[in-house]
Structure 1
Amino acid sequence: MILLTWKVARFQAMAMASKELGWSVILHLAFQSIGVIYGDIGTSPLYVFSSTFPDGIKHNDDILGVLSLIFYTITLIPLVKYVFIVLQATDNGQGGTFALYSLICRYAKVGLIPSQQAEDADVSNFKLALPSTRLKRASKLKSNLEKSYFAKGFLLIITMLGTSMVIGDGVLTPCISVLSAVGGLKEATSSMTEVQRFGTDKVGYAFAPIIFIWFWFIAGIGVYNFVKFDPTVVKALNPAYIIHYFRRNKKDAWVSLGGVVLSITGTEALFADVAHFSVRSVQISMCSVTYPALILAYAGQASFLRKHNDFVADTFYKSVPGPLYWPMFAVAVAASIIASQAMISGTFSIIQQSLALGCFPRVEVVHTSTKYEGQVYIPEVNYLLMLACVGVTAVFQSTTKIGNAYGIAVVFVMCLTSAFLVLIMILIWKTNILLVIAYVLIIGSVELLYLSSVLSKFEQGGYLPLAFAAIMMTVMYVWNSVYRKKYYYELDNKISSTQLKEITANTNFSRIPGLAMFYSELVHGIPPIFKHYLANISALHSVLVFVSIKSLPISKVAMEERFHFRRAEPRDMYLFRCVVRYGYTDVRDDGGSFETTLMEKLKEFIKEDTLLTQRGGESELQEMVAKEIEMVDNACEAGIVHLVGENEVVAAKGAGIGKKILIDYAFSFIKRNLRQTDKVFEIPHQRLLKVGMTYEL
């Protein structure tokens, strides 16, 4: 009953989403998704059979066993797990590891930065509708997570690990796909990344026809080979052939799983890239084009191999009919180059999410489509991926070791996604425990079996994604760790109400015309840099607004809910605190529109606050409101100044060597080489004033 209720609720939600977008838009997005999401999994027939049988086919029925493995693997993982289960766990349309982490952070207080406010829960899409009443199991799990600092840290670490592995996929995808299509075409991996700057919208329309043609080619050739050589491979639908395959080959069969798993490479792109499209559009394109084309392609190759065991090393091209060889070669090369788009687009999406949640250094995020939300491009990451692709290709020079590395990256991310999904099933969906156990036993056990197989090839190139993930996790850990320490420093040294009254009672400073915005990430109180500013400049603007830029663990915050104001006493100081709340996919406003919107919202707050907190007749209250709004208008006319804290962080005296390396060297190096605060917030330079202060952490 619980599952039925949940399915009905989800179906209704998707139906409403479909109506909002319109079916014409959904079908357009479905077509685009073919060119962006499926290039990787679509080109896997180029190398799966050759990777599974590196030493040749020892028994003809082994082909049926492997075909059965491929069929059930594609059905269970990409189709059942991702298309019909994982895509239901999007965070208001956003996918990827950080989207799952954000969902958990909303339902349990597992975030390590204490920036939560009671008002956050009032944001319309902060909470999702629950499918049933709260269960004891979910409440107990939530309580245990919130009480355990280890559990909070572990969740963040594995989120970073999953993110790093997906980025590693973005590096390895161009390498293995292009090298599999045509040996020696190393330069194609770098040229591919140059088209990313046009964005998913244009890239999707440009590449979708090529990938669509590719799917028709492999499906058609699959049917041709199936009919011509051995239609009896349909027997592979019987899973008994998998059992027979393992009995005959034992350990070799287990090792060969590392080749079979390559049939689902790029599956994580289904989830990571869903924000570029929509859940329904991805489901349509997968079920109507990708899945049937892949099954027909592998069935055709198996039929061909049943009659030509010796051609397993070059199965794909040997199975292509003569007249179609060169057209197929051209399309294969084009499709393989395009395949890198899937994981690169996914990389952009998850980095955007991790950046907003304080887990990645500041980089420029360019929103590439005015029609569809979530389509982004990150120049710095794009160039790093390009260099990494060229480096990996130049060093390994063949698909064997790259395939070993690729398998580890792919399966590792799948296992982490399943772990998060189980938490979401229990904590948020309140799924029946029997269904949770069934998921773990069926899909979880399959993924762990594949993981054990690919890890056996650690020394044959499998170390590469783990080494790359270690580098990325180090960067993310350094940034997030110091980011948290800095936040706690500001929280511990914030200006209290008593201190503020003492400051305002001081007659040594003067008030000057104008409005000043003090930027800070502290949402609980006034940051210590304000006191530092007054100690050096004995003047205050007539109106002060302390602006805290805050990222909520949700994808979007509606404009009417973005600005949350409070007034600081004494009232005649005209001092306000404003928390500006963004979702991790929201576009940050440029300086001009941000100022205008903030002033409008400030005036609305003044009116509401005065009517709620002050006593008097209606005319008297209206007069008070008019006076304060006039004060704000006059301050704006006199000029708006943006005050940004240029905080330097150093390890405190007496700190250990590890802390000094973390803060004084690692963090400082990253910060010096990346974007500054004013560039991230798009603050007008002509009205920007930086206030320097050193934090001893």
Structure 2
Amino acid sequence: MSSNFVQEAIDETHEDDEVESNDNDEEVSDGKTSLFQKLRRYDSLDLESAKLANHHGRGSQAVEWSVILQLAFQSIGVVYGDIGTSPLYVYASTFANGINHNDDILGVLSLIFYTITLIPLIKYVFIVLRANDNGEGGTFALYSLICRYARVGLIPSQHAEDHGVSNFQLELPSKRLKRASKLKSKLENSQFAKTFLLIITMLGTSMVIGDGVLTPCISVLSAVSGIKEATTAMTEDRIVWISIVILVCLFTVQRFGTDKVGYSFAPIICVWFTFIGGIGVYNFFKFDPTVIKAINPKYIVDYFQRNKKDAWVSLGGVVLATTGTEALFADVGHFTVRSIQISMCTVTYPALILAYTGQASFLRKHEKLVSDAFFKSIPGPLYWPMFVVAVAAAIIASQAMISGTFSIIQQSLSLGCFPRVKIVHTSPKYEGQVYIPEVNYLLMLACVGVTIGFRTTEKIGNAYGIAVVFVMTLTSSLLVLIMIMIWKTNILFIIAYVLIIGSVELAYLSSVLYKFDQGGYLPLAFAAVLMTVMYVWNNVYRKKYNFELNHKISLERLKEITVNTNLCRVPGLAMFYSELVHGIPPIFEHYLENVPALHSVLVFVSIKSLPISKVAAEERFLFRRVEPKELNVFRCVVRYGYTDMRNEQESFEWTLVERLKEFIKENLWLSHALVCNGKTAKMGEGSDNELQDQINGRHVEEDWQETVEREISIVDKAWQAGVVHLIGESEVIASKGAGIGKRILIDYAYNFLKKNLRQSEKLFDIPHKRMLKVGVTYEL
């Protein structure tokens, strides 16, 4: 492996491309000196990064059709419960004041048909799902894609050595590439644009989490309220308390994971779609087959001409036909793009269109029954079976947004925008299926609080529409940036997208905001609280990171510390954890001042999250040796994507030590090659054969083997003597003289979040018997 790497470096000297370097080496024309310069430029991080260039992540891996079909079946139970149960209330919400004209039914049916076709089907299934980040979806996935292709992230997560994982292939110059480069440059050079992008991403994420609260409330209340139609013994108080019991049970089963929940719920939702589709066909032929003419958008124009402002207000009811659509994108990490496309096109979309068409046919003959159109349109013999399935399906509907909430919180956590919580991967078979205990508990409390506070579905429905349309609009905004900058889409397609889908979403947004004071403020209140939490954590996290970066220990200072006669070496291997990726953290000097002892092998470990979904295991560890070599001190950056499992079955410390040994072998081989090339560079022309003899010669190989064995034995002895985990726990306080806003932000808000959430050792299952915490306080 090592010799191959050196040979690749030799071959590359004959190519035109240049290697980036921080050494400011002078360019030389001599081929042999150029080889020496190229080899010398590679440090350990470059050496490891050289292996990463061809990694494209999970999104490019082929998935067997049997697995895709299984996931498609699961997705029916997890993703479509919300949008699938919307026929229960869409017509009743749209015609809240009754039907004024019989043709208004055709206008609303036409609106529903084109809305479902444009937004869930065309926009999300065929466009937005393509913007997944190696299989992961949601607002933060869109943001991470933009951060990968333009340096717009405010979070210090990307450095030169990560390009092998996260960069992309440049294309040949073209008008589209120039347009993309121009936009990229503007974003990178504008602090306002960077901040604005992060804020709207946080807003979209907060709205989806708010959806995760509202969906269970409205679904369960709607289901239990239906029982009231069957018996007069059900009072409002009983409905509320039964709903709370069901909500608690629903959140309790989340710990079993999407895999088991999906298989449990999917058959019920499949029966639901079969029923609503079949009843829709029955009503279509029985009452009024002529509603098929609603496919003509002329009826939408007539509807607005007849009803004017009332038609515009009624859009808030029509948009409820798309509730849960964002879950379709947010939950793609639990499944695959192809599986969701299959289930949407073959089951969900046809069933919904048939259901709405059948209800419209029924209403053409029974206008006064619009407030209860769904149950009134059911044929007599099927009423009670349909009622039971409807109750079950309405309860299951909340599962979609709960799963989506877990996915996007996992992404925001890994990108430094959410406090530490535990991520539990619930399925060893399917990647991306996660459960977050703390978030599940908080969502349950929020749902119970909203149910008790609002008690009816009317105000929750108003809030629901605002949350749904807000997220759709923000998704479209980020998607346009991706189309221009990353996909380099033809400008005509971008204009068509903005004019058609963008204008439709803005019309719906203006309509739902009309009911702001009637419960619409609820998702914005949730978003305000969540964005405050995200902003506090992200802002102080960046301040603390930059403080450590500016006060890191220089190599000269490290040498001064380690040559101190009072410093003794003790047997064992120490892993010193810190958040600082580049350099030695200042907390290390604080440790040595109090404990003047250094283990025989010391590794500074930095856990780093990249704005990509996955980093392959063989690409995870990057090492650098800290000089002088005799100290046996190393730096290690452990890189994770935002969906990677961090509590692997293999021991983290064992894996790190094995990768350290591999690094030592490669590093020593490279050192020998550099020495040989340094000598040969002075011999002039005609020495190419001698250079190859020196690199491949037996005496070089023997020297290398001997040195490798000696170095590896040092690591093995340290490993056998015992591993100690040193956790750098840095507290932060506002500096003296700081304003009251800064003191509240750091001393109270951030430290409250930090103290009440998980610590580092809990996230990585570090054994307590071999753990030592090192504390220090930074003034920011």
The two structures have a TM-score, normalised by structure 2, of: 0.86
- Given the alignment of the two structures, is residue 513 of structure 1 paired with residue 571 of structure 2, yes or no? yes
Supply the AA of the counterpart residue of 2:433.
Answer: Q
Partner of 1:450: 508
Q: Secondary structure at the match of 1:456?
A: helix
- Given the alignment of the two structures, is residue 370 of structure 1 paired with residue 370 of structure 2, yes or no? no
Distance (whole Å) between structure 1 residues aligned to residue 251 and residue 88 of structure 2:
22
Partner of 2:763: 680
> In the alignment, which of 161, 180, 187 is matched to residue 222 of structure 2?
180
Distance (whole Å) between structure 2 residues aligned to residue 29 and residue 633 of structure 1:
45
Contact 2:155 2:416 in 1 (8 A): no
Distance (whole Å) between structure 1 residues aligned to residue 122 and residue 171 of structure 2:
21
Which stretch of structure 1 is more off in the superposition, 229-238 or 382-391?
382-391
Contact 2:146 2:482 in 1 (8 A): yes
Supply the AA of the counterpart residue of 1:23.
Answer: W
Partner of 2:658: 600
Partner of 2:109: 67
> In the alignment, which of 79, 85, 105 is matched to residue 43 of structure 1?
85
- Given the alignment of the two structures, is residue 170 of structure 1 paired with residue 228 of structure 2, yes or no? no
Supply the AA of the counterpart residue of 1:147.
Answer: N
Partner of 2:147: 105
- Given the alignment of the two structures, is residue 94 of structure 1 paired with residue 133 of structure 2, yes or no? no
Taking structure 1 as reference, are residues 440 and 132 closer, same or farther at Cα in structure 2, changes over 3 Å only?
Answer: farther
Contact 2:59 2:134 in 1 (8 A): no
Supply the AA of the counterpart residue of 1:478.
Answer: V
Per-residue displacement from partner, 1:589-631 (whole Å, max 9, x unpaired)? Answer: 3596111111111011101111112436221222111111111
Per-residue displacement from partner, 1:457-507 (whole Å, max 9, x unpaired)? Answer: 100000000000000111111111111111011101100122112112222
How far off is 1:670 after superposition?
1.0
What is the correspondence of 1:81-480 to structure 2 with a 5 Å cutoff?
81-123=123-165, 126-128=166-168, 135-183=177-225, 184=239, 185-187=242-244, 188-480=246-538
Contact 1:543 1:635 in 2 (8 A): yes
Per-residue displacement from partner, 1:283-305 (whole Å, max 9, x unpaired)? Answer: 00000000000000000011111
Distance (whole Å) between structure 2 residues aligned to residue 190 and residue 283 of structure 1:
32
Per-residue displacement from partner, 1:562-610 (whole Å, max 9, x unpaired)? Answer: 0000111111111100000001111013596111111111011101111
Taking structure 1 as reference, are residues 228 and 408 closer, same or farther at Cα in structure 2, changes over 3 Å only?
Answer: same
Taking structure 1 as reference, are residues 197 and 271 closer, same or farther at Cα in structure 2, changes over 3 Å only?
Answer: same
Distance (whole Å) between structure 1 residues aligned to residue 469 and residue 364 of structure 2:
29
Supply the AA of the counterpart residue of 2:308.
Answer: K
Partner of 1:8: none
> In the alignment, which of 539, 557, 581 is matched to residue 481 of structure 1?
539
Q: Secondary structure at the match of 1:540?
A: strand
Supply the AA of the counterpart residue of 1:464.
Answer: L
What is the correspondence of 1:433-582 to structure 2 with a 5 Å cutoff?
433-582=491-640
> In the alignment, which of 644, 648, 666 is matched to residue 731 of structure 2?
648
Per-residue displacement from partner, 1:278-325 (whole Å, max 9, x unpaired)? Answer: 000000000000000000000001111111111111111111111111
Supply the AA of the counterpart residue of 2:732.
Answer: V
Which stretch of structure 1 is more off in the superposition, 42-51 or 592-601?
592-601
How far off is 1:175 after superposition?
1.4
Distance (whole Å) between structure 1 residues aligned to residue 317 and residue 118 of structure 2:
17
Contact 1:18 1:26 in 2 (8 A): no
Distance (whole Å) between structure 1 residues aligned to residue 295 and residue 155 of structure 2:
51
Distance (whole Å) between structure 2 residues aligned to residue 499 and residue 26 of structure 1:
56
Contact 1:591 1:681 in 2 (8 A): no
Partner of 1:667: 750
Taking structure 1 as reference, are residues 67 and 132 closer, same or farther at Cα in structure 2, changes over 3 Å only?
Answer: farther
* Overall identity of the aligned pairs, in %: 76
How far off is 1:17 after superposition?
7.2
- Given the alignment of the two structures, is residue 622 of structure 1 paired with residue 686 of structure 2, yes or no? no
How far off is 1:129 after superposition?
5.6
Per-residue displacement from partner, 1:15-51 (whole Å, max 9, x unpaired)? Answer: x979832111110000000000000000000010000
Distance (whole Å) between structure 1 residues aligned to residue 763 and residue 580 of structure 2:
17
Contact 1:115 1:524 in 2 (8 A): no
Taking structure 1 as reference, are residues 130 and 302 closer, same or farther at Cα in structure 2, changes over 3 Å only?
Answer: farther
After superposing on structure 2, the runs of 4+ consecutive aligned residues of structure 1 that deviate more than 6 Å are 16-19
Distance (whole Å) between structure 2 residues aligned to residue 425 and residue 133 of structure 1:
17
List alignment gaps of at least 5 residues for structure 2: 1-54, 226-238, 677-699
Partner of 1:5: none
Partner of 2:7: none
Partner of 2:230: none
Distance (whole Å) between structure 2 residues aligned to residue 515 and residue 501 of structure 1:
19
How far off is 1:393 after superposition?
1.5
> In the alignment, which of 71, 76, 79 is matched to residue 118 of structure 2?
76
Partner of 1:9: none
Higher-Rg member (1/2): 2
Distance (whole Å) between structure 2 residues aligned to residue 432 and residue 100 of structure 1:
20
Taking structure 1 as reference, are residues 464 and 525 closer, same or farther at Cα in structure 2, changes over 3 Å only?
Answer: same
How far off is 1:660 after superposition?
0.2
- Given the alignment of the two structures, is residue 631 of structure 1 paired with residue 631 of structure 2, yes or no? no
Supply the AA of the counterpart residue of 2:120.
Answer: P
Q: Secondary structure at the match of 2:397?
A: helix
The two structures have a TM-score, normalised by structure 1, of: 0.96
Which stretch of structure 1 is more off in the superposition, 130-139 or 198-207?
130-139
Contact 1:591 1:684 in 2 (8 A): no
Distance (whole Å) between structure 2 residues aligned to residue 453 and residue 591 of structure 1:
51
Distance (whole Å) between structure 1 residues aligned to residue 536 and residue 59 of structure 2:
39
Q: Secondary structure at the match of 2:96?
A: coil
Contact 2:157 2:610 in 1 (8 A): no
Taking structure 1 as reference, are residues 128 and 315 closer, same or farther at Cα in structure 2, changes over 3 Å only?
Answer: farther
Per-residue displacement from partner, 1:232-272 (whole Å, max 9, x unpaired)? Answer: 11111000000000000001100000000000000001100
Supply the AA of the counterpart residue of 2:195.
Answer: G
Which stretch of structure 1 is more off in the superposition, 390-399 or 519-528?
390-399
How far off is 1:130 after superposition?
6.6
Supply the AA of the counterpart residue of 1:321.
Answer: P
Q: Secondary structure at the match of 2:155?
A: coil
Q: Secondary structure at the match of 1:443?
A: helix
> In the alignment, which of 71, 86, 89 is matched to residue 29 of structure 1?
71
Distance (whole Å) between structure 1 residues aligned to residue 391 and residue 607 of structure 2:
46
Which stretch of structure 1 is more off in the superposition, 686-695 or 581-590?
581-590
Supply the AA of the counterpart residue of 2:485.
Answer: L
List alignment gaps of at least 5 residues for structure 1: 1-12
How far off is 1:182 after superposition?
3.3
Distance (whole Å) between structure 1 residues aligned to residue 442 and residue 644 of structure 2:
24
Q: Secondary structure at the match of 1:361?
A: coil
Q: Secondary structure at the match of 2:378?
A: coil
Aligned-pair RMSD on alpha carbons? 1.6
Distance (whole Å) between structure 1 residues aligned to residue 198 and residue 260 of structure 2:
34
Q: Secondary structure at the match of 2:519?
A: helix
| Number of equivalent positions | 682
Distance (whole Å) between structure 2 residues aligned to residue 189 and residue 261 of structure 1:
25
Distance (whole Å) between structure 2 residues aligned to residue 129 and residue 338 of structure 1:
43
How far off is 1:128 after superposition?
4.9
Taking structure 1 as reference, are residues 677 and 18 closer, same or farther at Cα in structure 2, changes over 3 Å only?
Answer: closer
